[in-house]
Amino acid sequence: MSCTIIVGGFFGDEGKGKIVAHIAHQDHPTVISRGGVGPNAGHTVLVGKKEYGVRMVPSGFVYPKADLCIGPGVLVDPRVFLREVAEVEVSGRIFIDGRCGVIEEEHIARDKGSEHLAKTIGSTGSGCGPANSDRVLRVARQAKDLPELAPYIIDVAEKVNQAIDNGEPVLLEGTQGFGISLYYGTYPFVTSKDTSASQIAADNGVGPTKIDDVIVVFKAFPTRVGEGPFSTEMSLDKSHALGIQEFGTVTHRERRIGTWDGKMARYSAMINGCTQVAITGIDRVDPTCFGATSYDQLSQTAKDFIRQVEVDVGQPVTIISTGPELSQIIDLRKKR
Ligand code: IMP
Ligand code: MG
């Protein structure tokens, strides 16, 4: 039984949500707790035929047996949170730490109204930057100050640590991606907080000695939304010709597409303390791999790609996503 962190290795939108959902169904965590910035994150989760875009509820919600938490480091937008709680099946098992910083309407207005944030950086306009800045200035409200959040407030750090100490499996869900970390990303074209595994642990009040595994999720073809450097970016014409086109969950902006960046993957894995790699979008490397559920079904092209990832990163690829549905996945964790 263990505590596992799942983080994005490139610029976000690597498909962490699906990896979390898969691992949850396999490993039966009692608690899935979210770290990361706040509602600037968007996880698209496909459950059967229905698609959900969650921004506050942990993407592990599709696994019905886990309690879901939002760690104290995360910003909460009460409007977004309450809307999602009404939409998805989480009542009675979702909790917010009372210390979470609160996003006010005014933060959203400041985010959208700032030339620097909205235009130069290309922020999501969700108020996260201004809210984190108010938190650092110690003028932000906390979740425990809002009566409408009272039914959800607990000490998340206490709950998560208790589960770990009881030997129960726990998942800590990261958001965003390494390349937009405030500390390690392409500053100033970054989000308003670190996004690495250590931050996700800190966001939940879990000390480094209690983390057993860090799964870094990489997209075969990385993407980036918003402004900033992207060394392996290709033209949109080229990505469209390859049949790749994506839009952001939060802002619906078209995502910029690039090719595999081994150098970035290696650096990202180092800072994240990666122990295992998950690869998403292998069907874009070779469309014949779409929907594969075992390693043997992969083509030589796909196997060569995975081997290259392992050489670049220096850690084993243990999970390979082969399509959008939960069942379209290869899990090599038990065999290794
Ligand atoms: P902010 O986090 O809204 O301030 O946006 C700052 C930068 O981070 C912009 O380039 C956003 O597009 C990017 N960003 C923030 N959150 C995410 C995410 O969850 N996925 C991908 N990009 C993100
Ligand atoms: Mg996303």
Which CATH number does 3-335 carry? 3.40.440.10
Q: What is the rounded distance in angstroms from the CA atom of residue 326 to the CA atom of residue 240?
A: 25
Q: What is the rounded distance in angstroms from the CA atom of residue 137 to the CA atom of residue 325?
A: 43
Beta bridge partners of 46: 51
pLDDT over 90 percentage in the chain: 93
Q: What is the rounded distance in angstroms from the CA atom of residue 43 to the CA atom of residue 85?
A: 15
Question: What is the predicted pLDDT for the residue at 334?
Answer: 77
Q: Please tell me the distance between residue 251's alpha carbon and the centre of ligand 1 in angstroms.
A: 10
Pocket around ligand 1: residues whose beta carbon is below 6 Å from it?
Answer: 12-13, 37, 40-42, 121-124, 126, 128-129, 175-176, 180, 191-192, 225-226
**Contact indicator for 258, 233 with CB cutoff of 8 Å:** yes
Q: What is the rounded distance in angstroms from the CA atom of residue 210 to the CA atom of residue 164?
A: 8
Note the ligand closest to the C-alpha atom of 120: 1
* CA-closest residue to ligand 1 atom 23: 176
Q: Is residue 240 annotated as part of the catalytic site, yes or no?
A: no
Q: Which one of 11, 34, 40 would you pick to mutate in the ligand 1 pocket, going by the greatest count of ligand atoms within 8 A of its CB?
A: 40
Residue 62, pLDDT > 90, answer: yes
Query: Would you place residue 50 in the very low, low, confident or very high pLDDT band (cuts 50, 70, 90)?
Result: confident
With vertex at residue 272, the alpha carbon angle to CA 271 and CA 274, rounded to the nearest 5 degrees, is: 120
Q: What is the pLDDT of residues 255-300, one digit of tens each?
A: 999 999 999 999 999 999 999 999 999 999 999 999 999 999 999 9
Residues 6+ apart with CB under 8 A from 141: 101, 102, 104
Q: Please tell me the distance between residue 309's alpha carbon and the centre of ligand 1 in angstroms.
A: 25
Per the structure block, which two tokens stand in for 145?
Answer: 């100050």
Note the ligand closest to the C-alpha atom of 17: 2
22, 25, 28, 43: which is the annotated catalytic residue?
43
Q: Please tell me the distance between residue 296's alpha carbon and the centre of ligand 2 in angstroms.
A: 30
Beta bridge partners of 33: 69, 172
Residues 6+ apart with CB under 8 A from 115: none
H-state helical runs in the chain = 16-27, 78-87, 105-113, 128-136, 156-165, 197-203, 236-241, 262-272, 282-285, 300-313
Q: Please tell me the distance between residue 166's alpha carbon and the centre of ligand 2 in angstroms.
A: 32
Residue 336, pLDDT > 70, answer: no
Q: What is the rounded distance in angstroms from the CA atom of residue 26 to the CA atom of residue 48?
A: 18
Q: Is residue 22 annotated as part of the catalytic site, yes or no?
A: no
Residues with a beta carbon under 5 angstroms from ion ligand 2: 13, 42, 249
Residue 258 is classified by DSSP as B
Q: What is the pLDDT of residues 168-186, one digit of tens each?
A: 999 999 999 999 999 999 9
User: Does residue 168 sit in helix, strand or coil?
Assistant: coil
**Torsion sign across C-alpha atoms 296, 284, 315, 331:** negative
Q: Which CA distances in Å does 36 have to 167, 192, 201, 263, 327?
A: 24, 10, 10, 24, 26
Q: What is the rounded distance in angstroms from the CA atom of residue 62 to the CA atom of residue 108?
A: 29
Q: Which of 42, 39, 36, 37 is nearest to 17 (CA)?
A: 42
13, 134, 213, 286: which is the annotated catalytic residue?
13
Write down the residue that tokens 């899935």 correspond to. 32
Residues 6+ apart with CB under 8 A from 79: none
DSSP one-letter string for 276-316: EEEEE-HHHH-GGGTT--SGGGS-HHHHHHHHHHHHHHSS-
Q: What is the pLDDT of residues 125-162, one digit of tens each?
A: 999 999 999 999 999 999 999 999 999 999 999 999 99
Query: Would you place residue 36 in the very low, low, confident or very high pLDDT band (cuts 50, 70, 90)?
Result: very high
Residue 335, pLDDT > 60, answer: no
